[in-house]
């Protein structure tokens, strides 16, 4: 009976220090609502400016309440639909294939390095750790990818160079070491399961938070990447360009026309939207990737503590 009383007193003491008062709860909620609005305001401004007329931007500048609404920026992008549409499909395909390929490489590498009985564990740990500190350089990577692997002017040139990150491999290795119990793997071995079956049917279902987190990072990286296209895709291979590269090229062309408007026919420069088109490009590039976030959200919060030390 005394033990029950002591346990009850300990629970009451913990509740005393963890309970939040109603006033404090309201203040904390108001603070987080305020911070959420601060994060939302720039995105809302981008959307409003993209729906504003160019004349409204010249008169009033960037404003949440424009003097005139217009879809001219999106019409301008729509006129480039054949060019942008192809690039949009390219980015979707590159993002999906690259994310899947990246998850396969990082998860298998991380699982292999997490096994204590793997003979080459230390060697490959240093092998992937050193590039985190010292890079081989752009020239060396270009020579390998373009000339040795023959990836130039192919979709693989935008997938393979960034599919496997040393940092992500270390994260997956740490997650497997701290989260996946060795007893489960050993019992599966006793039952006669091979390592590939253990990895697919036992380890991966347990590791969904880590996989979803790394998958989200890889999705962002592939969708926003344009440097690989600039390095490895020739200027005449328009059908291979991803969306980000095309949008940056359009923005550079618009900026060039705006800077040289004095040499153009009167009225021509004014017919080309510049500021609103830039914001419309941001909307076009952000909306698809923002729509993918809810699919990862279920596991993302739990995946934020990957590799944490248990108390």
pLDDT at res. 281: 80
- Taking the C-alpha atoms of residue 251 and residue 278, their distance in angstroms, rounded to an integer, is 7
CA-based nearest residue to 281, from 55, 42, 47? 47
Q: What is the mean pLDDT of residues 206-212?
A: 85
pLDDT at res. 63: 80
The three-class DSSP label of residue 101 is helix
Most confident of 70-74, 82-86, 146-150: 146-150
Q: What is the mean pLDDT of residues 105-125?
A: 87
Q: What is the mean pLDDT of residues 104-116?
A: 89
Q: Does residue 197 surpass a pLDDT of 60? A: yes
Q: CA angle, 53 as apex, 48 and 55 as ends, to 5°?
A: 130
Q: Does residue 234 surpass a pLDDT of 50? A: yes
Q: How far is CA 159 from the centre of its chain?
A: 14
Longest CA span, the chain: 95
**pLDDT, greater one: 174 or 10:** 174
The mean predicted confidence, pLDDT, of the chain is: 80
Q: Does residue 266 surpass a pLDDT of 60? A: no
**pLDDT, greater one: 301 or 75:** 75
Q: Is 19 left (phi over 0), alpha (psi -120 to 50) or beta?
A: beta
**pLDDT, greater one: 10 or 47:** 47
Confidence of residue 300 (pLDDT cuts 50, 70, 90): low
Q: Does residue 97 surpass a pLDDT of 90? A: yes
pLDDT at res. 42: 85
Q: Does residue 225 surpass a pLDDT of 60? A: yes
Q: Which domains does the chain have, with CATH numbers?
A: 74-303 (1.10.3720.10)
pLDDT at res. 159: 92
**pLDDT, greater one: 225 or 259:** 225
Q: Does residue 309 surpass a pLDDT of 50? A: no
Dihedral sign, Cα of residue 72, residue 77, residue 81, residue 85: negative
pLDDT at res. 62: 80
With both helix axes pointing from N to C terminus, report the angle between 275-303 and 208-224 in degrees, rounded to the nearest 10.
Answer: 170
- Taking the C-alpha atoms of residue 25 and residue 21, their distance in angstroms, rounded to an integer, is 6
Q: Does residue 307 surpass a pLDDT of 50? A: no
Could you read off the pLDDT of 164-196 as tens digits, one per residue? 888 888 888 888 888 888 888 888 888 888 888
Q: How many CB atoms lie within 10 A of CB 155?
A: 16
CA-based nearest residue to 94, from 250, 280, 220? 220
Alpha-helical regions (H) of the chain? 2-18, 22-50, 54-60, 72-79, 81-114, 121-133, 138-142, 166-179, 182-190, 195-198, 204-206, 208-224, 227-232, 243-259, 275-303
**pLDDT, greater one: 275 or 93:** 93
- The pTM of the full predicted model, rounded to 2 decimals, is 0.76
- Taking the C-alpha atoms of residue 80 and residue 47, their distance in angstroms, rounded to an integer, is 20
């Amino acid at each position: 009976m005394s033990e029950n009383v002591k346990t009850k007193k300990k629970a009451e003491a913990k509740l005393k220090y963890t309970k939040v008062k109603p006033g404090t709860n309201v203040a904390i909620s108001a603070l987080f609502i305020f911070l959420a609005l601060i994060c939302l305001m720039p995105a809302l401004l981008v959307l409003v400016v993209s729906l504003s007329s160019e004349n409204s931007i010249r008169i009033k500048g960037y404003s949440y309440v424009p003097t005139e609404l217009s879809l001219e920026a999106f019409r301008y992008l729509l006129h480039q639909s054949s060019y942008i549409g192809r690039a949009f499909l390219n980015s979707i395909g590159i993002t999906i294939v690259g994310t899947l390929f990246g998850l396969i490489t990082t998860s298998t590498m991380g699982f292999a390095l997490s096994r204590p009985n793997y003979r080459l564990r230390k060697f490959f740990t240093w092998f992937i750790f050193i590039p985190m500190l010292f890079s081989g350089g752009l020239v060396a990577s270009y020579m390998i990818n373009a000339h040795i692997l023959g990836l130039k002017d192919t979709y693989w040139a935008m997938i393979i160079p960034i599919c496997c990150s040393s940092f992500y491999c270390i994260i997956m290795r740490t997650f497997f070491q701290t989260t996946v119990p060795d007893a489960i793997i050993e019992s599966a071995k006793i039952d006669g399961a091979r390592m590939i079956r253990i990895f697919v049917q036992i380890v991966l279902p347990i590791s969904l938070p880590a996989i979803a987190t790394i998958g989200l990072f890889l999705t962002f990286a592939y969708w926003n990447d344009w440097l690989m296209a600039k390095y490895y895709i020739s200027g005449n291979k328009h059908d291979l360009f991803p969306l980000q590269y095309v949008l940056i090229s359009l923005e550079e062309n618009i900026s060039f026309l705006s800077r040289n408007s004095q040499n153009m026919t009167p009225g021509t420069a004014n017919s080309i939207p510049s500021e609103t088109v830039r914001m419309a490009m941001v909307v076009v590039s952000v909306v698809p990737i923002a729509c993918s976030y809810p699919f990862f959200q279920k596991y993302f919060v739990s995946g934020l503590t990957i590799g944490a030390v248990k108390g």
